[in-house]
Amino acid sequence: MKVLMFGWEFPPHISGGLGTACYGLTKGLANQNIETIFVVPKAYGDEDESAVRLVNASDVLVDSTDETYQEFWKKITYLEIGSNLIPYVSPQEFARIAEENRLEGVDHQKKVTSTKFEFSGKYGTDLMAEVSRYALVAAGIAKKMDFDLIHAHDWLTYSAGIAAKKITGKPLVVHMHATEFDRSGVNVNSNIYDIERRGMEEADRVITVSNLTKATVIEKYGINPDKIFTVYNAVEPTDKEVYEVKRHVKEKVVTFLGRLTMQKGPEYFIEAASIILKHDPNVRFVMAGSGDLMNKMIRRVAQLGIGTRFHFTGFLKGADVDKMFLLSDVFVMPSVSEPFGIVPLEAMRSNVPVVISKQSGVAEILKYALKVDFWDVHGLADSIYGLLNYNSLSETFRKYGKDEVDSLKWDNAAYHVVQVYESLFK
Amino acid sequence: MKSICFYFQVHQPFRLKTYRFFNMGHDHYYYNDFENSHIMSRITQKSYLPMNDLLMKLIKKHGKDFKVTFSITGHAIEQFEAYAPEVIQSFRKLAETGNVEFLAETYAHSLSSLRSKSEFFKQVEMHSNKIESLFGVRPVTFRNTELIYSDEIGEMVHEMGYNLMLTEGAKHVLGWKSPNFMYCNARNPKLKVLLKNHTLSDDIAFRFSNHGWSEWPLTAEKFATWLADLDKNEDVINLFMDYETFGEHQWRETGIFDFMSSLPAKVLKTKKFKFATPSELEKELQPISAIHVPYPISWADEERDITAWLGNEMQNEAFDKLYSLENQIRNCNDPEILSDWFKLQNSDHFYYMCTKWFSDGDVHKYFNPYNSPYEAFINYMNVLSDFTIRVDEACSKSSGERIMEKAEDLGKQISKVARKAVKSTATKVKETIETTKSEIPSLEHIKDLSNAKVKAMLKEIDAQNLMYAIQDASDEVRDKILPNLTKSAKAEYDRLSAEVKKIKKTDIAEARKKISERISKLLS
């Protein structure tokens, strides 16, 4: 079977979580003897990285001389299209900026930094046009290539997927890694929403990364449940060397790591920290990441008077992320809305017990994790306290958590994707 | 004629409320009254009352031919008293017929038999008192929590005065043997043991309404045929199950009540069977063999062992922490602390922490107030932490324990001082020897010295130092030194060593004072 796949980015030019996922998935598909033609818009590579890069998704090292990697490329045809689309985070960032544009009109230009201004000025109003142009080029490619079905990742490529389907009549699978509701909360960009809905309506199969996303797709987009299939993401086993980090504080450390945006629920982490610190001042809390809620969060910490025990690191990447995990006793992901959520898996891989919100896709598959509703700050505080104070619990999580994460393999995910493919031809 | 022994277990735990760590230290009420009363009244209506009525009718109909046995935990009774007193009345009426036997067990449905003999005995005593006060008869047959049994537990049960105990006919213990006979304890054959026929029991308790089961639907006729087809040499069929089977685990709509109301007539009609209580069987049947159970068995899960309660790290930590309080509580008379102590021992709390979800998850979820075993553990540990604080405050150690501890402390101090004294004495001895002999001396060299030289040396050492010094010395050294002491030095030595020996018996305060005086003297 041969698949025409539309994505945003691909190794070795990985900059976001979707690239990692696409790489893992295509690798898994290659093991299942599925050939892939992977189409990406050409990235410029000079984007402001701190603004577009996901904090933790940078851990897949690609060595192009590696033999298995070479083997892998035999099954992959890789095409780049000249385009202004930037990978992964751009639509979120774009949606936010576009939204600000809409709300604040021209004044907006004065408020953002000059780089941001350039960013929005360069790509701003053109994004939808870029999407259409990408679709046009995609249709041209589809006409020339030989394949059995089309697989499109996230909304940016849906128009391309639809165009390819119209031209060739081949079945279309769209893959929902995140919905506009996950990215923007209540301030949904209706253009993007429309593209997502249309993509799923036109698709023969919809793959969601969790049942949570599946439910959103059914409820908010009105998509027929019969054609939606959940395939959970996986993580690549890491060969990274484990190195020791010396701890300089005697207190236990509880960590939040992610963008400081409404969807990630940073304020619930702060409230829980305040509850714990009232009872036991010998704990330190770390909030790693940056985002539009940063200043508000700093103010809230000051208001609660817990600043000596609550620390902001700003944006972390690469080795700093690994170091942060090595310094942590508990990792917390209180996301309000998280289609899947790969960070807790990375924490568990570093032997850190995790507390995750029930509103995350990853909560559906993890056994060795404490799960609470994101709004239940008392439950969150109690879970953290339990992991810090009751040794047998944290030991159990450390003992079995790593194995659990290591068992989430892309080969399994690819197997389920192939089953979705096969269902198209029965 | 074979006997059929029906025994029903009645138990409800005091479920804990959501207890956060910030409740610790000021909130000392641990129970979810709403849920406990709600569950109790629901099961009362769906199961206990209708089933008691049904059994009453059967007893009236069949007279002496129909008998049943109950075991009701102390905590079930407490909750009946609080939320459903009519259930106790209804059990009383059954008791008055004389066709019903009540068994002994631990008051708190606890796992104390696995940890503490004294706590185990205490709770069984408490339970028997309660049953006797309610139903007028003191239990003579024992069943342990969750039918937990081992050779050792059986031995303890006999020590409490019971001649018969009930347990699971676990396959891994029985092997090819049949559970349908009387057995006896491997260490003490005087304790007879009745074994649950788990196939026939679970056909009613678990499989009755299972449409996927090849024998569904199970009718009284069919069940009576199975009983009749059993080996004719067998003596007894023990049908042991939770009482909530009737109406709660198996809803009324499954036909479970109809099944039970027609079963006795169908069985008695064959003239091959009678219904009997365990104590009747104890008089009637002789054990055919001993049953060897080195490791505890129970009636839970496929494994029929105790891993449902003590099978993972969390359960073990919670269990260890709980029972580490036992010594303190033994001297405590605070009724609220005692009441919580028993309620926290309830085996159900540990059951909720079980992580073997895959094979037996469904049963574990039943009545389980928690979403995960981890939540169960955290909640229990929070409660236990607060309880520990209260125990530390209220049941501070008894004067006896305090004296023991101080004596230990003193002992340590003395040996510390003694070690110092040994050193200084050894130095003195060394000096003395050096003046008399050229080789490198030590305390042990004393035995090589002539008596005159020893005498000369001893004159320079005071009795006190000497006593300390030879505390750790070999007998040879001692034999060399003691006869060579001057009379007055000997007397002083004897007086001091007598005092050292007396420390544990005599007034500690004074001993301590003397010692500390001596220590300060030694140190100065």
Domains: count for chain B: 3
Long-range contacts, stretch B172-179, CB < 8 angstroms, 24+ apart:
B172/B297, B172/B304, B173/B291, B173/B292, B173/B293, B173/B297, B173/B304, B174/B291, B177/B289, B178/B231, B178/B234, B179/B238
**pLDDT per position as a tens digit, B353-392:** 998 864 444 555 566 889 889 999 999 999 999 999 999 9
Same domain, B207 and B326: no
Same domain, B252 and B295: yes
Residues in B touching A370 (Cβ below 8 Å): 372, 374-375, 378
Torsion-angle region of B274 (φ positive above 0: left; ψ -120 to 50: alpha; else: beta): beta
Q: Say if strands B192-196 and B164-168 run parallel, antiparallel, or are unpaired.
A: parallel
Q: What is the Cα–Cα distance from A339 to A126, expressed in whole angstroms? A: 27
A157-176 burial string, b = 16+ CB within 10 Å, else e? bbbbbbbbbeebebbbbbbb
Mean pLDDT across the stretch B147-155?
Answer: 97
Residue B375 contacts A where some CB pair is shorter than 8 Å:
yes
Yes or no, beta carbons of A386 and B317 under 8 Å apart: no
Q: What is the Cα–Cα distance from A320 to A351, expressed in whole angstroms? A: 16
Distance from CA of A391 to the nearest CA of B (A): 8
Return the SS3 of A2. Answer: strand
DSSP tag of B503: T
B window 341-370, beta carbon within 8 A of A: 355
CATH top-level class for A252-406? alpha beta
**pLDDT per position as a tens digit, A240-282:** 666 677 787 889 999 999 889 888 999 999 999 999 999 999 9
Distance from CA of A392 to the nearest CA of B (A): 5
Q: What is the Cα–Cα distance from B80 to B92, expressed in whole angstroms? A: 13
Yes or no, beta carbons of B377 and A381 under 8 Å apart: no
Out of A371, A382, A391, the one facing B317 most closely (by C-beta) is: A391
Q: Which one, of B124, B11, B141, B162, lies nearest residue B75 by Cα?
A: B11
Residue A396 contacts B where some CB pair is shorter than 8 Å:
yes
DSSP tag of B212: T
Q: A129 and A94 in contact (C-beta within 8 Å)?
A: no
Out of B22, B314, B371, the one facing A393 most closely (by C-beta) is: B314
Question: What is the number of other CB atoms lying within 10 angstroms of the CB of residue B491?
Answer: 12
Same domain, B262 and B337: no
Give the pLDDT of residue A45.
Answer: 41
**pLDDT per position as a tens digit, B50-100:** 999 999 999 999 999 999 999 999 999 999 999 999 999 999 999 999 999
Q: A7 and A19 in contact (C-beta within 8 Å)?
A: yes
Give the pLDDT of residue A58.
Answer: 26
Paired residues of B340 in beta bridges: none
DSSP tag of A126: T
Residues of B acting as catalytic residues: 146
Query: CB-based burial of residue B358 (10 Å sphere; 0-12 exposed, 13-18 middle, 19+ buried)?
Result: exposed
Give the pLDDT of residue B376.
Answer: 94
Q: Which one, of B37, B27, B112, lies nearest residue B342 by Cα?
A: B112
Out of A275, A276, A386, the one facing B378 most closely (by C-beta) is: A386
User: Angle between the A391-406 and B373-394 helix axes, to the nearest 10 degrees?
Assistant: 170
Residue A122 contacts B where some CB pair is shorter than 8 Å:
no
In a domain, residue B20? The reply is no
Chosen domain end from B379, B396, B413: B396
pLDDT above 60 (res A62): no
Q: Please, which residues have CB within 8 angstroms of residue A140's CB and are 6 or more apart in sequence? A: none
Same domain, B315 and B294: no
Give the pLDDT of residue A92.
Answer: 47
Out of B21, B22, B317, the one facing A392 most closely (by C-beta) is: B317
Give the largest CA-CA distance in chain B. Answer: 107
**pLDDT per position as a tens digit, B262-277:** 999 999 998 999 999 9
Give residue B317's domain range. Answer: 306-396
Q: Which residue of A has its CA nearest to B358?
A: A367
Task: Measure CA of the first residue to CA of the last residue in chain B; give whole Å.
Answer: 89
Query: CB-based burial of residue B498 (10 Å sphere; 0-12 exposed, 13-18 middle, 19+ buried)?
Result: exposed
Percent of chain B with pLDDT over 90: 68
Residue B499 contacts A where some CB pair is shorter than 8 Å:
no
Yes or no, beta carbons of A393 and B378 under 8 Å apart: yes
Among the ranges given (A107-121, B314-328, B421-435), the one the predictor scored with the smallest mean pLDDT: A107-121
In a domain, residue B204? The reply is yes
Backbone dihedral angles phi then psi of residue B195, each to the nearest 5 degrees: -110, 140
pLDDT above 60 (res B437): no
Yes or no, beta carbons of B374 and A278 under 8 Å apart: no
Yes or no, beta carbons of B381 and A390 under 8 Å apart: yes
Backbone dihedral angles phi then psi of residue A40, each to the nearest 5 degrees: -130, 150
Same domain, B406 and B432: yes
Give the pLDDT of residue A107.
Answer: 35
Same domain, B296 and B410: no
Task: Measure CA of the first residue to CA of the last residue in chain A; give whole Å.
Answer: 14
Residue A279 contacts B where some CB pair is shorter than 8 Å:
yes
In a domain, residue B24? The reply is no
Distance from CA of A354 to the nearest CA of B (A): 12
Residue B438 contacts A where some CB pair is shorter than 8 Å:
no
Q: Give the distance from CA B156 to its chain's centroid.
A: 11
Q: B91 and B72 in contact (C-beta within 8 Å)?
A: yes
Q: B144 and B196 in contact (C-beta within 8 Å)?
A: no
Same domain, B339 and B431: no
* More confident site: A23 or A41: A23
Q: Which residue of B has its CA nearest to A272?
A: B22
B window 23-52, beta carbon within 8 A of A: 24
CATH top-level class for A2-236+409-424? alpha beta
Mean pLDDT across the stretch A342-358?
Answer: 93
Mean pLDDT across the stretch B173-191?
Answer: 95
Mutation target vs B (from A376, A378, A393; most B CBs, 10 A cutoff): A393
Residue B389 contacts A where some CB pair is shorter than 8 Å:
no
Q: A260 and A266 in contact (C-beta within 8 Å)?
A: yes
Chosen domain end from B345, B368, B396: B396
Q: Which one, of B288, B106, B53, B298, lies nearest residue B189 by Cα?
A: B288
Same domain, B234 and B288: yes
In a domain, residue B359? The reply is yes
Q: A353 and A330 in contact (C-beta within 8 Å)?
A: yes
pLDDT band, very low/low/confident/very high, at A83 (cuts 50, 70, 90): very low
Same domain, B230 and B319: no
Transcribe A199-224 into DSSP letters. HHHH-SEEEESSHHHHHHHHHHH---
Q: B139 and B128 in contact (C-beta within 8 Å)?
A: yes
Same domain, B383 and B488: no
Q: Please, which residues have CB within 8 angstroms of residue A299's CB and are 6 or more apart in sequence? A: none
Distance from CA of B20 to the nearest CA of A (A): 6
Return the SS3 of B326. Answer: helix
Residues in B touching A391 (Cβ below 8 Å): 317
Residues in B touching A389 (Cβ below 8 Å): 21, 381
Give the pLDDT of residue A126.
Answer: 59
Handedness of CA A301, A305, A308, A310 (dihedral sign): negative
Residues in A touching B312 (Cβ below 8 Å): 392, 396
Give the pLDDT of residue A88.
Answer: 35
pLDDT band, very low/low/confident/very high, at A101 (cuts 50, 70, 90): very low
Q: Which part of chain A is CATH 3.40.50.2000?
A: 2-236+409-424, 252-406
Query: CB-based burial of residue B23 (10 Å sphere; 0-12 exposed, 13-18 middle, 19+ buried)?
Result: buried
Backbone dihedral angles phi then psi of residue A61, each to the nearest 5 degrees: -90, 130
Residue A125 contacts B where some CB pair is shorter than 8 Å:
no
* Tokens describing residue A270: 């702060």
CATH number of the structural domain spanning residue B201: 3.20.110.20
Yes or no, beta carbons of A279 and B371 under 8 Å apart: no
Distance from CA of A313 to the nearest CA of B (A): 28
Yes or no, beta carbons of B374 and A378 under 8 Å apart: no
In a domain, residue B322? The reply is yes
Give the pLDDT of residue B19.
Answer: 96
Distance from CA of B314 to the nearest CA of A (A): 5
Yes or no, beta carbons of B21 and A386 under 8 Å apart: yes
Mean pLDDT across the stretch A155-171?
Answer: 89
CA distances from B161 to A112, B140, B190, B324 (A): 86, 8, 10, 28
* Tokens describing residue A113: 């930094």
SS3 content of chain A, % helix, strand, coil (to 5): 50, 15, 35
Among the ranges given (A66-80, B10-24, B189-203, B404-418), the one the predictor scored with the smallest mean pLDDT: A66-80
Among the ranges given (A165-179, B154-168, B461-475), the one the predictor scored with the smallest mean pLDDT: B461-475
Among the ranges given (B227-236, B470-479, B481-490), the one the predictor scored with the smallest mean pLDDT: B470-479
pLDDT band, very low/low/confident/very high, at B486 (cuts 50, 70, 90): confident
CA distances from B437 to B1, B431, B432, B434 (A): 95, 10, 9, 5
Distance from CA of A58 to the nearest CA of B (A): 32
In a domain, residue B21? The reply is no
Q: Which residue of A has its CA nearest to B371?
A: A371
* Tokens describing residue A19: 């690239």
Backbone dihedral angles phi then psi of residue B134, each to the nearest 5 degrees: -85, -45
Q: What is the Cα–Cα distance from A187 to A189, expressed in whole angstroms? A: 6
Yes or no, beta carbons of A395 and B378 under 8 Å apart: no
Yes or no, beta carbons of A371 and B24 under 8 Å apart: no
Residues in B touching A381 (Cβ below 8 Å): 20-22
CA distances from B236 to B144, B150, B286 (A): 20, 21, 12
Yes or no, beta carbons of B317 and A385 under 8 Å apart: no
Q: Please, which residues have CB within 8 angstroms of residue A415's CB and are 6 or more apart in sequence? A: A28, A32
Give the pLDDT of residue B462.
Answer: 65
Same domain, B149 and B61: yes
Chosen domain end from B304, B337, B368: B304
Q: How many CB pairs under 8 A join A and B?
A: 55
Same domain, B354 and B218: no
Residues in A touching B381 (Cβ below 8 Å): 386, 389-390, 393
In a domain, residue B43? The reply is yes
Mean pLDDT in chain A? 79
Q: Which residue of B has its CA nearest to A378?
A: B20
Q: Please, which residues have CB within 8 angstroms of residue B402's CB and are 6 or more apart in sequence? A: none
Distance from CA of B393 to the nearest CA of A (A): 19
pLDDT above 90 (res B217): yes
Q: What is the Cα–Cα distance from B127 to B73, expressed in whole angstroms? A: 7
Mutation target vs A (from B22, B357, B372; most A CBs, 10 A cutoff): B22
Q: Say if strands B100-102 and A228-230 run parallel, antiparallel, or are unpaired.
A: unpaired
Yes or no, beta carbons of A378 and B20 under 8 Å apart: yes
Give the pLDDT of residue B402.
Answer: 65
Which residue do the tokens 């202004």 mark? A84
Give the pLDDT of residue A242.
Answer: 63
Q: What is the Cα–Cα distance from A356 to A352, expressed in whole angstroms? A: 12
Q: Say if strands B192-196 and B182-185 run parallel, antiparallel, or are unpaired.
A: antiparallel
Residues in A touching B377 (Cβ below 8 Å): 386, 390, 392-393
Q: What is the Cα–Cα distance from A279 to B385, expressed in whole angstroms? A: 13
Distance from CA of A238 to the nearest CA of B (A): 28
